[in-house]
Amino acid sequence: MKPFTEKVITIIQNIPEGNVMTYGQIAKLAGSPRGARQVVRILHSMSGKHHLPWHRVVNAKGLIGMKDDEHFQIQKLSLQSEGVEFLLDGSINLQEFQFHPAIVHEDLK
């Protein structure tokens, strides 16, 4: 597994319940500031295998990126069950719910 992929998996595994991170934020922390699409690919292909809390990852506007209604609803309900609130426009207030790791763990370097 490539180091970037390992870092992305570790970051996502450590998003606390009731918080979200953005694809771009994860990519930047993992060492590839322009790698948001790679984060999407990793989530799509490895969430099941690594038991990733995929539902805690949203786009830069605080919106659920899933277009499929069933997966959209699963993600929204999963986040709401953890206490994440949605604004009237369907977005999440990132100032309130976005997780910012205070320390970059040694295993992410």
The DSSP symbol for 14 reads: T
Q: How many CB atoms lie within 10 A of CB 3?
A: 10
Could you read off the pLDDT tens digit of each residue along the chain, which spans 109 residues?
899 999 999 999 999 999 999 999 999 999 999 999 999 999 999 999 999 999 999 999 999 998 889 999 999 999 999 999 999 999 999 999 999 987 555 455 4
Measuring CA to CA, which residue among 109, 45, 50, 58 is closest to residue 87? 58
- What does the pLDDT read at residue 108? 52
The DSSP symbol for 60 reads: T
The DSSP symbol for 62 reads: S
The domain limits of the chain are 3-98
Cα separation, 27 vs 75, in Å, equals: 20
Cα separation, 48 vs 97, in Å, equals: 24
Q: Which fold has domain 3-98?
A: Arc Repressor Mutant, subunit A (1.10.10)
